[in-house]
Amino acid sequence: MLRTHYSREITPDDDGKKVVIAGWVHETRDLGGITFLVLRDREGLVQVTLSKKKSDEKLFNIVRGISRESVVLISGFVKREDKAPNGYEIIPSDVQVLNKADSPLPLDVTEKVSADLDTRLDSRFMDIRRQSIQAIFVIRHHVLKTIRTFLDNSGFKEINTPKIVATATEGGTELFPITYFEREAFLSQSPQLYKQIMMSAGLDRVYEIGPIFRAEEHDTTKHLNEVISIDIEASFVTHEDVMSILELLIESVYSDVIKSCKNELDILGLQLTTPKVPFKRLSYDEAIDIGDIEWGDDLDTATEKAVGEKIGKHYFIVDWPTEIKPYYTEPYEDRPEICKAFDLMHPRMELSSGAQRIHSHDLLLKRIEAQELNPDGFEFYLRAFKYGMPPHAGWGLGLERLLMTMLDLNNIREVVLFPRDQHRLSP
């Protein structure tokens, strides 16, 4: 490897040690007799110091002429310096410019000059060089790592389902049609049907972390047309069981981010607290009383906000009207107008939805027809229910909304490398 150390791997105790560092020129400061170059790598900043009297003249002039954001490789010796970032500086013996950056820059990486979100997304490669933005994606990595570890330790097996499908998961018009050779196909709305089929297959507990696509013409700060969904399905459980799994997962994610991402949280100026479980269970009837909407209506943004302000922390809304939930949601036996569905809510927005699923072929067929869907389009799915489908339940959790609410960000696009909405298809 070209480098020997990242910035955070060097400490003041390495005083006198020779190292090779590599990264981007964050900024330079020429004070006449002394020139400072601040190098930035993935882990942070390093101060490189040259004295006109003590440094080689050629080396001194090279550093003075390097443009910001050029890529450099620097060999030198560590010197303890309390005033420098991390308590040390590098006295260089060699500086190589591996790639010179053009000027002017499309964005200010030092974050001294702000830019609007569209400008930042147009030059996303440069935007992510900013420490505060890079911190978001380091945290995103840890969140995904924690989720996989949690689900693995809970007995779940990871699966991958098709993203090109022949029929809608839940009906409706929120579909992206594509040409699949000589047939019409769609980008998948959800792995729902396939993960239920895995219950019939006997895998018992499965999860998937992958993209889903919704052709919704939303233009809001909390909607995108391509997002990452975290989905689970489990057999021989109730909806209460998978709600418990979900809240414990959220607790685990917050706890790990607090433990593993202290530097990133400091950069973002955040102090997180782990939400306490179990989360409050609020019935649909109680929610619509707070929001003052009619029974049978879905919760609109104003209602979600009113309930969120009243609860003030993560909570579940349970016992929804059967008719406003998907056909595969199991109704209560004694009150079929109510179903065993739930939504996990953050005070700001919905994060997840799930339910106990119908495992009876005949009842599932009846519900598909009741929602005026064509059963022929679900034949591959319905077959799995004819040959021994166990009781099962599951949920889907939006990764981007989880991150957005955790990090107190105002726009979901902030947590996606290259967001896709109805206006943006590039980069």
| Residue 418 pLDDT greater than 70, yes or no | yes
Predicted pLDDT of residue 172: 59
Which amino acid makes up residue 111?
E
> Judging by DSSP bridges, how do beta strands 338-346 and 349-356 pair with one another?
antiparallel
Q: What is the DSSP string of 274-291?
A: PPPSSPEEEEHHHHHHHH
- Mean pLDDT of the region 30-39: 92
Nearest to 255 by CA among 149, 167, 362, 182: 149
Averaged pLDDT, 76-98: 95
Would you say residue 171 has pLDDT above 70?
Answer: no
The neighbouring-strand residues paired with 80 are 88
pLDDT of residue 54: 79
What the block records as the tokens of 382 is 């319905």
pLDDT at 173: 61
Place of tokens 């490669």: 125
Domains of the chain plus CATH, in order, are 7-99 (2.40.50.140), 126-415 (3.30.930.10)
The whole-number pLDDT of residue 119 equals 96
Tell me: pLDDT of 254 over 70. Answer: yes
Structure tokens at 354: 């799930």
What is the arrangement of strands in the sheet containing 183-187, beginning at the earlier edge strand? 164-165, 183-187, 177-180
Q: What is the total residue count of the chain?
A: 427
CB-based contacts of 164-173 (< 8 A; 24+ apart in sequence): 164/188, 166/377, 167/377, 167/378, 168/377, 169/193, 170/326, 170/327, 171/327, 171/371, 171/373, 173/215
Q: How does the average pLDDT of the chain come out, rounded?
A: 95
Cis peptide before 375 (omega within 30 of 0): no
Does the pLDDT at position 130 exceed 70? Answer: yes
Quote the pLDDT of residue 15: 97
